[in-house]
Amino acid sequence: MHIDLADLDFWRKPLKERHEAFARLRELEHPVFFPEKKVPLLRSGKGFYALVRHADVVEASRNAKIFSSEPAVTNPEPPGWIKQVFGESMVNMDDPRHARLRRIVTRSFSPKMLAGLQSDIEAACTRIVDDLVAEGPRDFVSQVAARLPIHVICDMLDIPQELRDKVHQHVDISTAYTGVRPSLARSVQMAGQNMLALLALQRMVIKLGHERAADPKGDLVSLLVTANVDGEKLTDKELGSFFSLLLVAGNETARNTMAHGLKILTDNPAQRELLMSDFDKHIGNAIEEMVRYVSPIMQFRRTVTEDYSLRGLELKKGDKVVLFYGSANRDETVFPNPDTFDITRETKPHVGFGGPGPHFCLGANLARQEIRTMYRELLTRLPGLRATGEPELLLSNFDNSVRSQPFTF
């Protein structure tokens, strides 16, 4: 099998073939270098080293001083003018700038804040399943998995009801651009749509921010615009950039895991039966196993800040490495029989929410809370729930997203 992780055609291959390719790369003594191809509208560099082993991904994640998130974590790297238009995302920052923003926003995801959301999440799950029963099964993604995370985030931000359909549309357009573009013309079209969607989202929250600064409520926007941590507040651009990150990243992790989860539980009826034999006992580990198995976000990139030896590989300042979370989560040395879905698996530190360190997913606990509550509602009220065919996956080298999933109950 020819393996070229920089070739977008690799990401067209079936998941099974990709997993087999990563397994072969994990067997090699050193990380493999892949020269980059030119991608329309994106900057191309000399290439990157693929970090596919769990230990390497963890080491790079923990050592942010050597493995920098600047100038960008996406692969290929976007052009520099993107930051000028949209502001800079937290994921593309190192300390102290990253720590400053994280200090401001982290209180929004405290255990107390998340506990206060539980009744709203439960009510949303009930409404979603009520609608599902009334409408009948069509597509699990649009009817269930895509609805809950967006609803929860809009509730957290107290987005007016009349704006929520627009928010959902803008997020879908934004995430679609993470897919593989088939041509220059299509790339230009999708890039334009993506930029307009992101700008619309940012303008929306900045306008709300100004309103809430003058008249604060109990929502997340009010908390962010009035937050004063060591004399620091979010600027308009920082608020807009964080809003985009929250809507896209916060949405995709829970959405992708829930969408893939239905097919996984359908294909593993014994595991589903075990889960339902004692839901409260097994659901926590089941969620971690789903996130490991799915790896909702497949990769992020880092830039080496000084010469460094990684497992005998001599990296030079300026080299790029890409952390392949999906491969690390199937590393045989950490997860025996990694291609088997097993909710009794001994809990291990998977990297489905990013590796350990300063960039570990801020919304991981919120995603767990949403998945747990949604699956409790679905599996208890609809015991016949199951996938009826293969999922349609987004063609992407970044986002392990399900576009649609036929199902029945």
Classify residue 146: in a domain, yes or no. Answer: yes
Classify residue 89: in a domain, yes or no. Answer: yes
Q: Is the pLDDT of residue 154 over 80?
A: yes
The residues near 158 (Cβ < 8 Å, ≥ 6 apart) are 217, 218, 219, 220, 221, 222
Provide mean pLDDT across the span 206-227.
85
At residue 159, the pLDDT reads 85
How many other β-carbons are positioned within 10 Å of the β-carbon of residue 85?
11
Domain harbouring 245, CATH code: 1.10.630.10
Angle 50-305-299 from CA coordinates, rounded to 5°: 30
Report the C-alpha gap between 152 and 186 in whole angstroms.
32
Q: What is the pLDDT of residues 335-390, one digit of tens each?
A: 999 999 999 998 779 999 999 999 998 889 999 999 999 999 999 999 999 999 99
Look at the chain and report how many structural domains it folds into. 1
Classify residue 9 as exposed, middle or buried by CB count within 10 Å of its CB (0-12, 13-18, 19+).
exposed
According to DSSP, residue 216 is labeled: -
Classify residue 403: in a domain, yes or no. Answer: yes
Domain range for 349 is 71-305+341-408
Q: Is the pLDDT of residue 147 over 60?
A: yes
Classify residue 396: in a domain, yes or no. Answer: yes
Torsion of the alpha carbons at 186, 88, 222 and 106, rounded to the nearest 10: 110
According to DSSP, residue 234 is labeled: -
- Give backbone dihedrals phi and psi of 72, rounded to 5 degrees, phi first: -165, 155
Classify residue 52: in a domain, yes or no. Answer: no
Q: What is the pLDDT of residues 1-51, one digit of tens each?
A: 689 999 888 999 999 999 999 999 999 999 999 998 766 556 667 899 999
Classify residue 315: in a domain, yes or no. Answer: no
Classify residue 210: in a domain, yes or no. Answer: yes
At residue 202, the pLDDT reads 80
What pLDDT band is residue 272 in, cutting at 50, 70 and 90?
A: very high
Classify residue 231: in a domain, yes or no. Answer: yes
Q: What residues are paired with 304 via a beta bridge?
A: 67
Quick one: which of 269, 260, 37, 313 has its CA closest to 144?
260
Of 87-101, 108-122, 235-249, 250-264, the range with the lowest mean pLDDT is 235-249
Report the C-alpha gap between 23 and 9 in whole angstroms.
18
Q: What residues are paired with 392 via a beta bridge?
A: 404
At residue 218, the pLDDT reads 79
At residue 44, the pLDDT reads 64
Q: What is the pTM of this model?
A: 0.90
Provide mean pLDDT across the span 96-116.
83
The two three-digit tokens of residue 180, written as one number: 């593989």
At residue 329, the pLDDT reads 98
Q: What would the DSSP string read from start to end of 62-77?
A: H-TTTEE--S-SSSSB
At residue 20, the pLDDT reads 97
At residue 92, the pLDDT reads 85
- Give backbone dihedrals phi and psi of 312, rounded to 5 degrees, phi first: 85, -10
